[in-house]
């Protein structure tokens, strides 16, 4: 992906900079991209340094791994900004004075954080200034934002230019600049946007480079140097006084704030914008419509919130280890390793702490935490990468404990007002939500740094309303703004739109009527019990030198028209082999005839047979996209060839197992597309019980290295 963007955008734009030495530019590259350049294209960095040395380019700093700064602990935000400043100074010979704020997600408190990190200024969207009541004609220079006396300069990015460049002809941009100049000299207009607009967005490579748009645009600026002066932010800071103070509200660019709204509110918001558009009053009233805020994604999508909570948990573990190390370093008589109450060593070596912190910061990269046209919450490889880094950071910071250990913690992990149970060991972590059906929502296999439940459920999205029934629209050609009308990448996506009844978790408990079909189960409409999302009582458990949680719920099952009372005891245990075992004891308080199902959603990066194969009891294997029904399946295996391990699902007694792919229909810059999210597996046992009669079942997950990878 980086290579494609480099060939189609980053390199051609750099070459254009070199061809037009009189035009100044400001450049920001993310830390992951800089690390890619180091490995794959070091010449790019040398060429940028040459432009910096001749005063043509200013390189901005920022937070190295592009987090949403307001969503991470301040200690990590400042640490990442220092890391980027050090890198820019080392590679380009100048300490950055300004920064790029990922997705321009601003909160007022950031003025203090950014100032304390040693940075002086940053660009934000003009929309954010308009929300503060600043008129368009006054958005022609920097303002001062402050928090508790800490100040930074903020520059408004012109939305008009952001939408015109590179889609409109250069002459249209020239006319826009001429209109600004009529107000007098010394006015500053900022264009700042994604480099991918110049060759990676659909149709833009031909338009911008092959058809010469960029060269014509830069030549136009060169030809009009008598009244247009291109400058860097640093030039402006040193030469132009700020226009005043600006107390900007929590905000981002308008599309982001619309995407962050809950779906019903987003539909209403879109209708209001269309109404104002039809009345010709959108420009007048638009500045007073702020939409949502970035943190709204954490309530809109439980999956995003769980990633943030995991990140916060790991960050605190690292911070605690750092504090412990610093405290013990101050003890003059410290001669033996400090130990925890259970006898494990508690000091983490400095180099290990540094590695853990770097992995944590990688896991804070913003892309997978939100969803819009760009955000990658629906993309499994991005979510998986976030968890990989966070689990690796956690494993590193706990490496000093050594040997075999386990730990149980009861805590409101996801901040929903109800406690979760976190089971941790040297081999596996299992996070259990008694209040959400006693389901397992995270299962970390430590030796491969993998969360087997890094899944994504189907969510109702506002853009699903635009999908026509039985659509067969192909993706269009030519240059276009990705905010234009929805483009469908395949037929049948309307079948994937909508809302799943429950999160795509594991050990989700269902009761079905005896004649239920797989299509009913797959569509989520066959459950006749109240256990899948019901609240279980719970207590910590320990047996056979392992830890677990014991949960109980008495609920109702309506399998034959007359609801009957059912009691479920559910026990979740860590296993010696580094997996998890779930045991059920189901008691009919009243006679019942139903089917019990335990649902598991397992995260794999590809459903194709080349990369992942499923089979049962040594029988025929297939890819994960094929719907399967395994009779009397004691042992179901999935070989994950991408990661090189095997997942084994052992059920007792042997049930019928149904499997199918969990797909979503999500919007990206390329259009609406199908995305494989997980393998759904449901183990099914028939239940015909008299009053007071019980049955027991179990499902155990184990993980092993795949031979002959």
Domains of the chain are 2-251 (3.20.110.20), 500-705 (2.70.98.10)
60: left (phi over 0), alpha (psi -120 to 50) or beta: beta
Distance set, CA 332 to CA 327, 329, 335, 346, 532 (Å): 11, 8, 8, 18, 56
Q: Which of 143, 126, 151, 147 is nearest to 242 (CA)?
A: 143
Token pair in block for residue 576: 């010696």
pLDDT of residue 485: 59
Taking residues 2-11, report their average pLDDT.
96
Relative to beta strand 506-512, strand 546-557 is unpaired
pLDDT the model gives residue 625: 96
- The CA distance from 362 to 31, in Å, is 9
Backbone dihedral angles phi then psi of residue 406, each to the nearest 5 degrees: -150, 165
pTM equals: 0.94
| pLDDT at residue 476, as a whole number | 47
Cβ-count burial 540-553 (b if 16+ within 10 Å, e if not): ebeeeeebbbbbbb
Residue ranges in 64-167 assigned as alpha helix (H): 74-92, 110-116, 126-131, 159-164
Concatenated DSSP letters of 438-482: TEEEEEEEGGGTEETT--------GGGGGPPTT--PPPPPS---T
Mean pLDDT check: name the lowest of 109-123, 210-224, 485-499, 581-595.
485-499
Q: Mean pLDDT check: name the lowest of 91-100, 331-340, 402-411, 572-581.
A: 331-340
Total residues found in the chain within this entry: 709
pLDDT at 525: 83
Six token digits for residue 337: 């390793």
Catalytic residue of the set 76, 103, 359, 673: 103
Q: How far apart are CA 98 and CA 60, in angstroms?
A: 5
- Rounded Cα distance between 310 and 315, Å, is 9
What are the pLDDT digits (tens) for 551-568? 999 999 998 778 999 999
Residue 34 to residue 45: CA distance in whole angstroms: 8
Of 430, 682, 699, 687, the closest CA to residue 584 belongs to 699
**Which residues, including other chains, have CB under 8 Å from residue 412's CB and lie 6 or more apart?**
418, 419, 420
CA 652 to CA 683: how far, in whole Å?
10
**Separation between Cα atoms, residue 460 and residue 316, nearest integer Å:** 34
pLDDT in tens, 184-200: 888 999 999 999 999 99
Distance, CA of 398 to CA of 677 (rounded, Å):
30
Q: Which two tokens stand for residue 452?
A: 């087997």
* Tokens of residue 562, six digits: 């007359």
- Report how far apart the first and last C-alpha atoms of the chain are (Å, whole number): 25
Q: What is the pLDDT of residues 51-90, one digit of tens each?
A: 999 999 999 999 999 999 999 999 999 999 999 999 999 9
pLDDT, tens digit, 9 for 90 and up, residues 214-256 = 999 999 999 999 999 999 999 999 999 999 999 999 999 999 9
Distance CA 625, CA 498 (A): 20
Per-residue pLDDT tens digits for 290-339: 899 999 999 999 999 999 999 999 999 999 999 888 887 776 555 545 55
Query: Is residue 700 annotated as part of the catalytic site, yes or no?
Result: no
Identify the residue whose tokens are 């404990």: 401
- The reported pLDDT for the residue numbered 184 is 81
- 3-state class (DSSP) for residue 287: helix
Instruction: Name the catalytic one among 38, 194, 283, 688.
Output: 194
CA distance 113 to 116: 5
**Percent of the chain with pLDDT strictly greater than 90:** 82
Which is nearest to 573 in space by CA: 698, 696, 684, 453? 698
pLDDT for the residue numbered 501: 73
Q: Which of 10-14, 74-78, 399-403 comes out lowest in average pLDDT?
A: 399-403
The number of beta carbons lying within 10 Å of the beta carbon of residue 243 is 16
Q: Which residue has 């950031």 as its token pair? A: 110
**Average pLDDT for the chain:** 92
> For residue 483, what pLDDT is reported?
52
For residue 498 the two structure tokens come to 């909508």
- Among this protein's residues, is 388 annotated catalytic? no
Alpha helices in 132-169 (DSSP H): 159-164
**Are 682 and 590 in contact, with CB atoms under 8 Å apart?**
no
Q: Is 298 left (phi over 0), alpha (psi -120 to 50) or beta?
A: alpha
């Amino acid at each position: 992906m980086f290579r494609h963007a480099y060939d189609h955008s980053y390199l051609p734009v750099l070459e254009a900079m070199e061809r037009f030495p009189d035009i100044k530019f400001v450049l920001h590259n993310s830390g992951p991209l800089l690390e890619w350049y180091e490995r794959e294209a070091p010449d790019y960095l040398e060429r940028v340094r040459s432009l910096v040395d001749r005063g043509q380019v200013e390189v901005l700093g920022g937070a190295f791994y592009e987090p949403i700064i307001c969503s991470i602990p301040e200690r990590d935000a400042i640490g990442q900004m220092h890391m980027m400043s050090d890198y820019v100074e080392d590679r380009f010979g100048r300490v950055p004075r300004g920064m790029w704020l990922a997705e321009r997600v601003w909160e007022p408190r950031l003025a203090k954080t950014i100032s304390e990190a040693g940075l002086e200024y940053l660009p934000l969207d003009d929309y954010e200034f308009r929300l503060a009541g600043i008129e368009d004609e006054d958005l022609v220079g920097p303002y001062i934002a402050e928090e508790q006396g800490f100040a930074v300069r903020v520059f408004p990015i012109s939305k008009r230019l952001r939408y015109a460049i590179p889609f409109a002809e250069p002459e249209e941009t020239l006319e826009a600049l001429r209109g600004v100049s009529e107000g007098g000299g010394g006015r500053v207009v900022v264009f700042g946007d994604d480099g991918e607009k110049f060759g990676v967005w659909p149709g833009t490579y031909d338009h911008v480079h092959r058809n010469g748009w960029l060269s014509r645009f830069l030549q136009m600026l060169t030809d009009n140097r008598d009244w247009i002066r291109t400058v860097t932010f640093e030039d402006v800071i040193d030469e132009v006084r700020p226009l005043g103070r600006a107390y900007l509200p929590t905000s981002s660019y308008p599309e982001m704030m619309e995407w962050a709204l809950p779906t019903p509110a987003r539909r209403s918001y879109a209708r209001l914008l269309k109404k104002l558009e039809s009345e010709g009053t959108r420009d007048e009233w638009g500045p007073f419509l702020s939409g949502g805020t970035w943190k709204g994604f954490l309530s809109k999508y439980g999956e995003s919130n769980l990633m943030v909570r995991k990140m916060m948990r790991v960050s605190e573990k690292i911070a605690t280890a750092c504090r412990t190390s610093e405290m013990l370093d101050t003890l003059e008589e410290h001669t033996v390793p400090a130990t925890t109450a259970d006898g494990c060593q508690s000091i983490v070596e400095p180099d290990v702490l540094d590695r853990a912190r770097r992995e944590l910061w990688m896991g804070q990269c913003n892309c997978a935490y939100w969803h819009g046209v760009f955000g990658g919450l629906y993309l499994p490889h991005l979510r998986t990468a976030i968890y990989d880094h966070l689990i690796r950071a956690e494993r590193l910071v706990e490496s000093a404990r050594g040997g075999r250990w386990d730990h149980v913690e009861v805590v409101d992990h996801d901040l929903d007002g109800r406690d979760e149970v976190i089971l941790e060991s040297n081999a596996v972590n299992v996070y259990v939500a008694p209040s959400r059906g006693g389901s397992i929502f995270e299962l970390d296999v430590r030796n491969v740094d993998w969360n087997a439940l890094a899944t994504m459920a189907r969510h109702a999205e506002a853009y699903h309303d635009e999908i026509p029934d039985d659509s067969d629209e192909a993706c269009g050609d030519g240059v276009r703004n990705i905010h234009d009308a929805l483009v469908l990448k395949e037929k049948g996506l309307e079948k994937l739109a909508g809302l799943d009844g429950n999160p795509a978790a594991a050990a989700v408990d269902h009761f079905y009527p005896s004649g239920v079909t797989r299509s009913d189960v797959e569509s989520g409409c066959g459950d006749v019990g109240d256990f899948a999302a019901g609240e279980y009582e719970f207590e910590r458990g320990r047996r056979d030198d392992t830890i677990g949680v014991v949960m109980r719920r008495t609920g109702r099952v309506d399998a034959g028209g007359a609801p009957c009372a059912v009691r479920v005891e559910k026990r979740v245990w860590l296993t010696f082999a580094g997996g998890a075992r779930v045991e059920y004891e189901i008691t009919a308080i009243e006679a019942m005839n139903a089917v019990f199902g335990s649902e598991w959603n397992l995260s794999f990066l590809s459903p194709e047979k080349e990369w992942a194969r499923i089979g049962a009891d040594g029988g025929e294997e297939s890819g994960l996209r094929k719907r399967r029904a395994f009779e009397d399946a004691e042992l179901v295996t999935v070989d994950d060839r991408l990661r090189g391990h095997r997942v084994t699902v052992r059920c007792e007694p042997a049930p019928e197992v149904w499997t199918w792919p969990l797909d979503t229909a999500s919007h990206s810059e390329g259009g609406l597309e199908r995305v494989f999210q997980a393998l759904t597996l449901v183990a099914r046992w028939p239940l015909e019980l008299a009053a007071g009669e019980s049955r027991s079942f179990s499902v155990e997950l184990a993980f092993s290295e795949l031979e002959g990878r």
